Amino acid sequence: MPPAATLDDVLAPLLADPARAAVLLDIDGTLAPIVRHADDAHVPEPTRLPLIAIAKRYGLVACVSGRQATTARRIVSLGSITYVGNHGAEILRGGQTTPEIAPEIAEWARKVRAFGVGELRGEELHRLRVRGEDKDVIFGFHWRGAPDEESAEAAARAVAERAEAAGFVTHWGRKILEVRPPVALNKGLGVGALLEATPVDVALYAGDDRTDIDAFDALRAAVAAGTLREAICIGVASDETPRELEEAADILVDGPLGVRGVLETLAG
């Protein structure tokens, strides 16, 4: 992608043939503004409207989230598109009610949950207002909005050490620690599965965090393999944007409002 490419230049390949194009979107910080409490997240109606129009015109439209797929669908409130949840562990296809989960991942759910719940019972996390999020096969520890975010993060790092000692994998996001099964798990795997099931020529992915770089990599790998003609990787900028995301993106847009502008252009 040329360094001086404009947004119109970037989106032109999708607009040329929507039926052979994929629109893949992160949710938190991309479609939905970041909020203090994760349960309060929602996609604003002015953003949903062009997304609804896109869902009717484009060959593949999906939201790719670190949340459970059913939670992602609730936040977006659009049942006709596909949701990839838990960083690629689940796929909830349009019109279905039960997500598909790989057996090697599902068998870890009980162990991950037991560890997370056990940690939350500790006095320190409770005192520091670190909040737990049970995502079935992933357990998240949030400290955004805690009275002392620095101390809360330090406590989360201690949790991470214990999780890794117990054989789990840890992953860091924007003021969240995730404890995961020790199996391959990232948004790129989910994106790859979607592209295998629905062949398209061009694909766009927009995201705001480190976990979205895996999705960028999956699109570019598909181009290298010849299964995609072109990949467009859009970074969503904020005051917390990781430098790695800025470097990996073809172009940056300004927050969820910038993403709304992308969707409005794609919707025509």
**Range with the poorest average pLDDT among 52-66, 101-115, 168-182, 184-198:** 101-115
Q: CA nearest 198: which of 21, 16, 26?
A: 21
Query: Which is more confident, 184 or 264?
Result: 264
Between 258 and 40, the higher pLDDT residue: 258
> In the prediction, which pLDDT does 185 show?
84
Question: 3-state DSSP helix/strand/coil percent for the chain, to nearest 5?
Answer: 45, 20, 30
Q: Where in the chain is CATH 3.30.70?
A: 109-180
pLDDT digits (tens, 9 = 90+) for 145-203: 999 999 999 999 999 999 999 999 999 988 999 999 998 889 999 999 999 999 899 99
Reported confidence tier of residue 19, pLDDT bands at 50, 70, 90: very high
Average pLDDT over residues 36-46: 88
Residues of the chain with CATH 3.40.50.1000: 7-101+185-267
pLDDT tens per residue across span 194-237:
999 998 999 999 999 999 999 999 999 999 999 999 999 999 99
User: Could you tell me the CA-to-CA distances from 135 to 15, 68, 85 in Å, in that order?
Assistant: 36, 6, 9
pLDDT band at 3 (very low <50, low <70, confident <90, very high): low
Q: What sign does the dihedral 9-10-11-13 (CA atoms) show?
A: positive
**CATH code given to domain 109-180:** 3.30.70
Give, in order, the Cα–Cα distances in Å from 114 to each of 43, 126, 152, 163, 267: 31, 17, 21, 11, 44
- Would you tell me how many other CB atoms lie within 10 Å of the CB of residue 253? 21
* pLDDT in the model for residue 173: 87
pLDDT at 107: 83
Say yes or no to pLDDT of 1 above 60. Answer: no
Determine the pLDDT at residue 195: 94
The CATH class of the 7-101+185-267 domain is alpha beta
pTM recorded for the entire structure: 0.81
